[in-house]
Amino acid sequence: MKTRTYFLAVVFAAIILQLMSSFGLPAEGEKPDTGSPLQIIPETLEVGTLSPGGYVKGSIFMKSTLSADMKWSTRGPEGWESIGNGKLSGQMKDSLGYMEIGIKLMEDEEQAENEDSCRVQMTIESEGETLTLVKVLPFGAHEEKIAVLFEGGEKVVSVNFDTALREPGPEIHVEPPGIDFGSVEGTKTLMRKLKIRNTGKGALIWKLGLQGDREEVNGARLRKGMYVSFLNEENPGGDRYEVPGRLANLIELTGPWLSADGYPAANGGEALRYVFTGTGVAVILRPDEDGGKLNASIDGAPAVVVDCYSEEQDRIAVVVAENLPEESHVLTLVNEGGYAEIEGLRVYGNDPLYEAPGWIAAFPTGGTLRSQTNYVTVTVNTENLRAGNYSENILIQTSAGLAVVDASIRVKRDAVSKIIDVYRYVKGNDFLYTGQPEAENYSVLRTYRKQRLAFRLFREDTPGTRKFFRWHNALRGDHYYSSDPDGGGKSLNGYVLEGSIGNIGTSRIHGMKELYRWHNPSTGCHFYTTDVRGEGMARKGYRFEGIAGYVR
């Protein structure tokens, strides 16, 4: 026992010194920040969830700044019945001490499912001595306070745990909760990532599909609508919420709206106005236990009260209006008090198009999760889509329930402008050209540095042009472009097609100029420019490869 005790003392000494350093607490010999001569880490111990027969354990560490051999004692939390000696005493070793706290939910074969309480055992152990206590507690969350007495005072440690009638099962969590692809002109292939996690215990088996033309799934009625996300990806960590550029002409804010991970949040008195076209609208909230109420009105009509309170749900959609004339309307949200966090809207109308199969796809379509994370790639191809609004619900069915992810895109066909401004971005030796930066994956584009307008391409219906495709090799860090869908004789091993960025001329006519391709054989990377001298890239090892096509 002495050998084990000495070993534990050495281990705990190392741990507590490291913890005190990381928590910014004073080391031995330094003046403490607090007046208490006994410091405890942590002062709040989270030990998890208990089900019948389950056991959880945690440790707290103590440091004396008064005496190297300070004595201490505890009787455990108040209201607990002691088994045996009702007191645990200890003495610091070189100013250091520890307690191990274990909690067990006692198994009871006669426990009825409708009973709302259980028998819990707590053990507090230090230096080979143990204090055992029991108490009957209701199922739910608990905070038990343990007073530690020492020479000159006492410190209180909080132990937090939950009791449950059954072992917690798997639980699905999907990020983001919805995908707003925004407005897109021309032919594009867009991709977004869904992150699926299991926040419970056990195996989570999931299967993914699309709602299609079904109105009911697993007994639940699901309705599609154009999903509008209020997320500002460019400023997710700011203190004040800023309207993203894509919504600048649609949203008007009044009052000090806060940013909650990039979503607008209000504490009272703030107002938000949104202009939409449709026959109805629902407000999508991220409710909170401190949630208040929003007054929601359409075009100045009497307001509908939207409750932002919930202790369990992490996302709710509240329908504010239906059966409106399909024309422009103004939604006004006013916070009447309490906390309100708004994810976005779901706009209903007669326009959302569902009759174009294949416009959206997701892969993979299933998996099994324990503690890891699965990623799903959601792809949209606008090549065969006529102008209009498209919406779909991505369904993730699991043993823990159904998760629904909104997805929407607005397709535009501009018959007036035939020119696409293409901008150049750079990351290392990788040059990314895009005619619609706002439609790119922001989390990817933000890792590149914007340089300048590189050249101009043409709309897809421009005579004498063909699509200019883009491929990406993530391992090499290179983007390659060609009007040949097979790559124009270039080996595309390791490259992934990302769609077209516009149309390029197949022959030179008045007002056009050559787009030259350069290649660096050392890095395998490519560079495109209208400068016949390659903007000096020859000095960096690039070699001229020819004309990729004709641009403005």
pLDDT band at 493 (very low <50, low <70, confident <90, very high): very high
> How many of the other CB atoms lie within 10 Å of CB of 316?
17
Both 428 and 505 in one domain: the answer is: yes
Cβ–Cβ under 8 Å, residues 233 and 259? no
Q: Give the bridge partners for 153, in sequence order.
A: 150
Question: DSSP for 371-423?
Answer: SSEEEEEEEEE-TTPPSEEEEEEEEEEETTEEEEEEEEEEEE--SS--EEEEE
pLDDT at 96 over 70: yes
d(CA 147, CA 141): 20
Both 341 and 438 in one domain: the answer is: no
pLDDT at 109 over 70: no
Both 441 and 512 in one domain: the answer is: yes
For 248-257, write each residue's pLDDT tens digit: 878 989 999 9
pLDDT at 40 over 80: yes
Comparing C-alpha atoms, which of 82, 81, 135, 125 is closest to residue 104? 135
Helix (H) or strand (E) run with residue 2 in it: helix 2-22
pLDDT score for 239: 82
Pairing of strands 373-381, 366-369: unpaired
Both 477 and 520 in one domain: the answer is: yes
Show the domain range for 380: 172-411
pLDDT score for 2: 35
Both 62 and 116 in one domain: the answer is: yes
Find the mean pLDDT for residues 130-148: 92
pLDDT at 19 over 50: no
Find the mean pLDDT for residues 139-157: 90
d(CA 226, CA 214): 17
Both 406 and 477 in one domain: the answer is: no
**Alpha carbon distances (Å) from 270 to 84, 228, 252, 332:** 59, 20, 11, 11
Q: CA gyration radius for the chain?
A: 31
pLDDT score for 352: 56
Both 369 and 256 in one domain: the answer is: yes
Q: Which of 376, 411, 446 is the last residue of a domain?
A: 411
Q: Which of 411, 433, 467 is the last residue of a domain?
A: 411
The pair of structure tokens assigned to 346 is: 């779901």
pLDDT score for 5: 39
Q: Which of 114, 144, 163 is the last residue of a domain?
A: 163
SS3 14: helix
Find the mean pLDDT for residues 363-385: 90
d(CA 410, CA 47): 48
Both 448 and 384 in one domain: the answer is: no
SS3 85: coil
pLDDT score for 233: 84
pLDDT score for 16: 46
Question: DSSP for 532-544?
Answer: TTGGGGGGGT-EE
- Say which CATH number the domain at 178 has: 2.60.120.260
pLDDT score for 159: 93
For 116, left (φ over 0), alpha (ψ -120 to 50), or beta? alpha
Comparing C-alpha atoms, which of 420, 336, 344, 413 is closest to residue 382? 413
Greatest mean pLDDT among 104-108, 184-188, 476-480 lies in: 476-480
Find the mean pLDDT for residues 19-45: 59
d(CA 18, CA 32): 16
Both 310 and 347 in one domain: the answer is: yes
d(CA 250, CA 331): 10
Number of domains in the chain: 3
d(CA 39, CA 148): 11
Both 384 and 467 in one domain: the answer is: no
pLDDT band at 356 (very low <50, low <70, confident <90, very high): low
Both 35 and 155 in one domain: the answer is: yes
Both 184 and 151 in one domain: the answer is: no
Sign of CA dihedral 5, 11, 13, 19: negative
Report the alpha-carbon angle 139-141-143, nearest 5: 125
